Chains A and B, each alone.
Chain A
Amino acid sequence: MTHVLEAFQLVLDPGVLGTVLLAALFGLFVGAVPGLTATMATALLVPVTFLMAPVPAIACMVTASAMAIFAGDIPGALLRMPGTPASAAYCEEANAMTRKGQAERVLGASLVCSVVGGLFGIIVLVTTAPLLAEFALQFSSFEYFWLVLLGLTCAVFIAPGRPLKGMVSLLIGLLIATVGFENPAAYPRFTFGTEALMSGLQLTPVMIGMFAVSEVIRHALAPAGPAHLPARGMGRIFRGQGTLLRQQAVPVLRGSALGTAIGALPGAGADIAAWIAYGISKRFSRTPEKFGTGHIEGVVEAGAANNSALAAAWIPALVFGIPGDSITAIVIGVLYMKGMNPGPTLFIENPQNIYAVFIVFLLANLLLLPLGWMAIKLAKNVLRVPRRVLMPIILLFCVVGAFAINNSVFDVGVMLAFGLLAFGLEANRFPIAPTILGLVLGGMLEQNLVTSLIKADGNPAAFFARPLAAGLGVATILIWLSPLIRRALRRRTAAATVLH
């Protein structure tokens, strides 16, 4: 108990609190700018933390990343341009609500669910970290292979419109993911002899291109588009959120649990959690036909999932020093720098520091409520700016954001190319969300398939040899076959009624 008190003393220091506040504002800004991700927010903080004591150093990374993941929803909802890849899954849905004049409702819900999801993840982190980390360590390439396949199935669920067109978009995404030489064979594919393409096409410039640049091109070509976005209904953000939370308790909790599980797995982070949560939400919804038209259900589930994944990613990081996502990969280095070596000893040798990290997590998520509210209030002004002024500014943000990823203009070119591709795809009613999903999961799919086969000496039965892999495999196959099975069952009952 003394350790907990010590931890509170460490955190409730004016200097630490000030740092947390600054980091929060920084995270909100980075998350809200399309093209700057939560990972980048964390990476940018590394040099700053060189000079700090351990607790404030970790505190500012925790706070900034939590804020950034929520803030990514804001441009997603208002402008249909996700601020971070973790918001891409449900950005069209959220924007559809804005266009119905429900911007306040969707952003408020996404804020509240982010906080709930974050708190859920923290509670799991505090209570069952060692246990869950142990579970995560059971995952080898066989289990990941099934998990990725399960994720890809979501593409079929999330794509509105004709399934064939969704499939084409997914294939394009998978194809993009094969570019470069970071594949199991280490052979440079589709690089056309350029050095810049060797590590492949990166998610962020492709995403900004496909969502934001295509939108700017569409605006330029729209002869009679509205001068303003619908700005009505931005009054009281928290009104009705309690009722909503009660109504949507199942999706919110399911999203939080799913996000925690996926976040705790090394190598799968908030982005994948949001996609899978959105897919699951539609799959199990009683009203799946409403998805894509501005329906809150998928937004709350995926919005809770990405924030809970963020906290859960710390589970393997703190217990075994294994990064749960790209953010904790950076954080682990900082932990070593500050003498807080991750591993079981961390909980024994420096318990006050680890409790302080937990307290910071709680604090950051509670701080998200007022600061998120403020951010939404500020952001709504964007809707008042005439589109003819807004669009060029957004384009410049995109260009600078794409440049900032690798500090190279090559990515600006990538962004433009994918902007044009997305414009063409959408004009022809091909959904773009599956392309992003394919790009996110394509590399993982090939990596886990090939390494599994190498390990099994080419024997496909090995995909069912481990109990966990067999369970995941059977679940995936059942989900695929469920429409067929249901149809068969229905035919049987129909036949039975005829007979009787």
Chain B
Amino acid sequence: MRVNDIVSGTILLLLGAAVAAHALGFPAAHGQTIGPGVFPGSIGLGLVLAGALLMRSGWRQTPRAPAVEWDEGLRQPRFAANGALVIGTVIFYALAVERVGFFPSAFVMLAVLFLAFGVSRRWIAPLAAAVTFGLHFAFYSLLSVPLPWGWLERFAW
């Protein structure tokens, strides 16, 4: 998704203003001349300034770019859905892994994305299973990262 400089400038200006306003509300630190709000406050003001400059350059640009331009990928439903699936599977994994465990969550994540990206159907399950096991071995057994067991707690090794 592409926006022109006027839109991105406006977003930055609003973000900067919100940050600066919020930072002004930080209480002064007892015994310190510079309070906790000064640094983020100046960054906020910097963003306001940068946003204003971007808006100005967008305004002067001729011919002016359209406010919002969608990438080709986002306009085609199939690819837009793939993008959503990437985000969705990560969210799914984050929500599921502690309860369900690493093996099912990782397998589902891989299988869904393989399917979406067009990997040949009969390869999906074996490939996803092999990668899941390989990763588990590397991270859990070799690097001792405590990947959650979830449903498979009883089979934990």
Q: Do chains A and B touch in the complex (CB under 8 A)?
A: yes
Q: Which positions in A face B, CB cutoff 8 Å?
A: 26, 29-30, 36, 44, 47, 164-165, 167-168, 171-172, 174-175, 178, 183-187, 189-190, 213, 216-217, 220-223, 386-389, 391-393, 395-397, 399-400, 403-404, 407, 409, 412-413, 415-416, 420, 424, 427-428, 446, 449-450, 453-454, 458
**Residue contact A221 to B83, C-beta cutoff 8 Å:** yes
**Residue contact A428 to B2, C-beta cutoff 8 Å:** yes
A214 smallest CB distance to B (angstroms): 10
B145 within 8 A of A: yes
**Residue contact B93 to A399, C-beta cutoff 8 Å:** yes
Residues of A within 8 A of B79 (CB): 220-223
Q: Which positions in B face A, CB cutoff 8 Å?
A: 1-3, 8, 12, 19, 22-23, 26-27, 29, 31-36, 39-40, 43-44, 46-47, 50, 53-54, 57, 71-74, 76, 79-80, 82-83, 85-87, 89-91, 93-95, 97-98, 106, 109-110, 113-114, 116-119, 127, 131-132, 135, 138-139, 142-147
Residues of A within 8 A of B147 (CB): 400, 403
**Residue contact A389 to B119, C-beta cutoff 8 Å:** yes
23 cross-chain CB contacts under 8 A: A164-B53, A168-B47, A171-B50, A175-B44, A178-B39, A183-B36, A187-B29, A190-B22, A216-B86, A220-B117, A221-B83, A389-B114, A391-B117, A392-B110, A392-B114, A392-B117, A399-B93, A403-B145, A404-B139, A404-B143, A449-B34, A453-B34, A454-B33
**Residue contact A454 to B32, C-beta cutoff 8 Å:** yes
CB < 8 Å: which of A175, A217, A395 contacts B83?
Answer: A217
CB < 8 Å: which of A164, A391, A404 contacts B54?
Answer: A164
Give complex CA distance A427, B118 in Å. Answer: 25
CB < 8 Å: which of B32, B85, B94, B110 contacts A396?
Answer: B110
Give complex CA distance A213, B44 in Å. Answer: 27
B126 smallest CB distance to A (angstroms): 12
Give complex CA distance A208, B23 in Å. Answer: 28
**Residue contact A409 to B85, C-beta cutoff 8 Å:** no
Give complex CA distance A26, B139 in Å. Answer: 12
Report if A412-B93 is in contact (Cβ < 8 Å); known contacts: A388-B114, A400-B135, A427-B71. Answer: yes
**Residue contact B29 to A175, C-beta cutoff 8 Å:** no
A437 smallest CB distance to B (angstroms): 14
**Residue contact B145 to A404, C-beta cutoff 8 Å:** yes
CB < 8 Å: which of A36, A164, A172, A392 contacts B113?
Answer: A392
Give complex CA distance A386, B40 in Å. Answer: 44
Residues of B within 8 A of A449 (CB): 34, 39
Which among B29, B85, B86, B145 has the highest number of chain A CB atoms within 10 Å? B86
**Residue contact A44 to B110, C-beta cutoff 8 Å:** no
Q: Which residue of A lies closest to B53 (CB)?
A: A164
**Residue contact A396 to B106, C-beta cutoff 8 Å:** yes
Residues of A within 8 A of B87 (CB): 217, 416, 420
Give complex CA distance A351, B2 in Å. Answer: 62
Which among A164, A167, A399 has the highest number of chain B CB atoms within 10 Å? A399
Which among A26, A29, A36, A187 has the highest number of chain B CB atoms within 10 Å? A187
CB < 8 Å: which of A221, A395, A404, A412 contacts B80?
Answer: A221
CB < 8 Å: which of B118, B135, B142, B144 contacts A397?
Answer: B135
Residues of B within 8 A of A397 (CB): 135
**Residue contact A190 to B40, C-beta cutoff 8 Å:** yes
Residues of B within 8 A of A388 (CB): 114, 117-119
**Residue contact A174 to B86, C-beta cutoff 8 Å:** no
Other than the given A175-B47, A396-B110, A409-B98, 17 more pairs (CB < 8 A) read A26-B142, A168-B47, A171-B47, A185-B32, A185-B35, A187-B36, A213-B90, A220-B85, A389-B114, A393-B110, A393-B131, A399-B94, A400-B139, A407-B146, A412-B94, A428-B2, A454-B31
The 5 A-B residue pairs with the shortest CB-CB distance, nearest first, are A221-B73, A185-B29, A392-B113, A388-B117, A185-B36
**Residue contact A174 to B34, C-beta cutoff 8 Å:** no
**Residue contact A395 to B34, C-beta cutoff 8 Å:** no
Give complex CA distance A104, B39 in Å. Answer: 44
Residues of B within 8 A of A393 (CB): 110, 131
